Structure 1
């Protein structure tokens, strides 16, 4: 009972009550109509502070007072009280955002998109959820089956928005891995890895998080979990390359590719587009593509949007070179490469593959 009460106090504090206000409100819920002295005794709040606490709760609108001698107090309906607190919280959040934006607009402008440290499991998970929430077209993720289950709702919401998800799940328990397979086998390109490694999450090939989970610590209970937030696109290829060679390739594919690729898919991670295009062409599926990128001519770069059909793919034996050959609707032929490509005509930023029968 004591633990339940403490958890309730913490949740009410998250909605904007002070600790004493939360304790007094819970006491009123338990006691019903009560005097200040009874509330003080039940909540453990000093009598010298109880009148101030009750007046603050009254101002917030979640308790009512009867003007008798002594005064009597009662809590309003619990659902209505929570609605009031949530409304106040959202209004405070809105006001705080406005003030912060005003201060930010007046402050110095600096390039802060580099590498940042995030500490603590809860903070890391919240940051990963935010990254997933803001993914528009592409998400690659590799983590333990337990972590992916924590994030399953967020990942499925991303999938429902049309985000193309590539997953590697590290097996820690049969039950957890089976749940991951059941939930994502049809909705993401999923592989299973049998050796635990650092977790990697990259959204739209533009921002990423590398997470050292407690499983990788020798004495996990004595270490604070740590993650690296990578906002600089110059550093990000280091981690996307790690994902490709050390996490993606060595893992076992469980998604049936023909079914998963039977509908249009958008890619920001270029090698994944080439892999899937090669598979579709190999089973006789004709493939259209819509491409956004840069036409490279010497030292000049020109933004282009192309539409056409994919007629060929190439993956070098060491898997360091990937490209597609596209014939546009106007009959022009281009060799498409990924970011920082050297030999290709087009540096691809985004490509949508559209299978046709």
Structure 2
């Protein structure tokens, strides 16, 4: 189905469809109802690929799978029904974004539309160079080499750098070449949107063809917004990161180390505990969902719940938390805006019993004996 109308392909790509997904879905539309083998032949893809992607199509409300029949058949849903569902989704998204949008003249919030591919690439590089604490990046494999120096520099500066490499099969991806390009690097065998969030404030978002491929009328959105960026990171970690395959994880910083970004502390705590290192955490916290003053608490790290590296230990994809024991109670700590944990933290220091002061070590020794 490579002859599909270019405008239709661009429209479907803007909703996250890869080229192979477009070929498969438009084939199903053309056939109306068919077996997997007929769909594979019409789309020029493997039958195995058809079976893999049908579940996603069903979740998106694009098709019905009649697996009670032999052989299994797939029926395309009426496009008007599909468009109505997409419209409802966009309306919900608009409402959620409107709820976040409360302009404050004292806060720097800017938005811009970027049409030039060269400008988008330069902006990605600049934001990577300016990153101080945290980077979340989803980008096509074909331009990773162009960003390699900036990514390595961010890692060397101690920036938590999560890199999701999109590989739609058009290029041979040598996965071992990603060593050192992030705190954690994953590869996803699809082409998703280009996503960049830096320091919970700055970012970019665009369809993938804005960054790779021939000239396009698609556009990127650049922003400086301290509420939109965390929502984008939540989508990155909740929707895309869990689907990808881990190919590289950097080593943790040596304690004692202080973290202004909670996820970085969670990642390093995970890596230290996998090396059987006992950890003590000093945290600046306040009760979750409150505006009370922050206070300092210390405790032994007993559990880490996270979805940043494999194997994951969280209950939902965006959960990243520390469980601490201060000798009198065990309590949970999450990052800014925590809702599942007892406390939210704005700063974390990780130590070992050897680097902690004597009184803390004695306290933790007594808690471990309880």
Alignment TM-score > 0.5, same fold: yes
| Distance verdict in 2 for CA 1:298–1:198, change over 3 Å | closer
Q: Determine the structure 2 residue equivalent to 1:121.
A: 117
Pair 1:207-2:202 in alignment: yes
Q: Which has the larger radius of gyration?
A: 1
Aligned to 2:337: 340
Aligned to 1:288: 280
Q: Over residues 178-219 of structure 1, what are the superposed CA-to-partner deviations in whole Å (9 max), with x where a residue is unaligned? A: 2x63243575311111101111112222322213232799xx
After superposition, the C-alpha distances for 1:54-92 in whole angstroms (9 at most, x for unaligned) are xxxxxxxxxxxxxxxxxxxxxxxxxxxxxxxxxxxxxxx
Paired position in structure 1 for 2:154: 158
Deviations 1:114-135 (A, max 9, x none): 5332221121122222211221
Q: Paired residue for 1:245?
A: 238
Distance in 2 of aligned mates of 1:110 and 1:155: 32
- Partners of 1:214 and 1:238 in 2: CA distance: 23
More helix per residue: 1
Does residue 1:310 correspond to 2:301, yes or no?
Answer: yes
Change (3 A) 1:254 1:352: farther
Measured in 1, the distance between the counterparts of 2:207 and 2:260 equals: 25
Shift of 1:240: 1.0
- Three-state SS of the structure 2 residue aligned to 1:152 is helix
Length-normalised TM-score, structure 1:
0.56
> Are the counterparts in 2 of residues 295 and 347 from structure 1 also a CA contact under 8 Å?
yes
Task: Name the CA distance, whole Å, in 2 between partners of 1:157 and 1:353.
Answer: 23
Unpaired runs of 5+ in structure 2? 1-104, 306-312, 355-370
**Partner residue, 1:323:** 321
Match of 1:149 among 145, 162, 185: 145
RMSD: 3.6
Contact 1:309-1:326 at 8 Å conserved across structures: yes
Pick one of 184, 188, 212 that aligns with 1:189.
Answer: 184
What is the TM-score when the length of structure 2 is the normalising length?
0.54
- Please name the residue that 2:292 is paired with: 301
Stretches of structure 1 lacking an aligned partner (at least 5 in a row)? 1-108
